[in-house]
């Protein structure tokens, strides 16, 4: 995060890979899990997936332990933004965007990188779930 060059390379790689996630569509497994939630068979999904496909399939209560690649998060003020416009901006300008909220904040995808802790509130929600008896 401290290196401007490393952050630029991060953005270059993430934006290059972004269409893989943006164009992915839910499969039968995602749709079945959404139906199970709608029918009350499961309370929630706890996932390490970062692709947002469970939500696209219709699941409502998705706990993303590793975050999501469909959002950008400011590492300084915590604001979150839809990834699409910022990816598009980087691809057009080749400049790493700054946080629109705090103006100078460092942005990265809202995924959990090596060395980052799991999001406390998501982990707490996952721990609060109880198996159906
Ligand atoms: Zn910010």
- Give the chain's radius of gyration (CA, Å): 16
Q: Token pair of 57, please?
A: 């399939």
- Specify whether the CB–CB gap between 50 and 69 falls below 8 A: yes
Distance 102 CA to ligand 1 centre (A): 4
Distance 46 CA to ligand 1 centre (A): 27
The neighbourhood of ligand 1, an ion, using CB within 5 A, equals: 74, 76-77, 79, 99, 101-102, 105
pLDDT digits (tens, 9 = 90+) for 15-47: 999 999 999 999 999 999 999 999 999 999 999
Band of residue 56 on the pLDDT scale cut at 50, 70, 90: very high
- Distance between CA 100 and CA 120 in Å, rounded? 25
DSSP 37-55: HHTTS-S-EEE---S-HHH
């Amino acid at each position: 995060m401290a290196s401007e060059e490393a952050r630029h390379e991060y953005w270059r790689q993430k934006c290059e890979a972004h269409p893989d996630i943006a164009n992915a569509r839910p499969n039968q497994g995602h749709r079945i899990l959404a139906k199970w939630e709608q029918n009350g068979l499961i309370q929630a999904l706890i996932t390490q997936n970062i692709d947002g496909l469970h939500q696209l399939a219709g699941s409502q209560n998705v706990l993303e332990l590793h975050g999501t690649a469909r959002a950008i998060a400011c590492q300084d003020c915590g604001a979150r933004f839809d990834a699409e416009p910022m990816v598009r901006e980087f691809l057009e300008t080749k400049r790493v965007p700054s946080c629109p909220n705090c103006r100078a904040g460092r942005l990265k995808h809202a995924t959990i990188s090596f060395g980052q802790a799991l999001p406390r509130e998501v982990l707490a929600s996952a721990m609060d779930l109880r198996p159906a008896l």
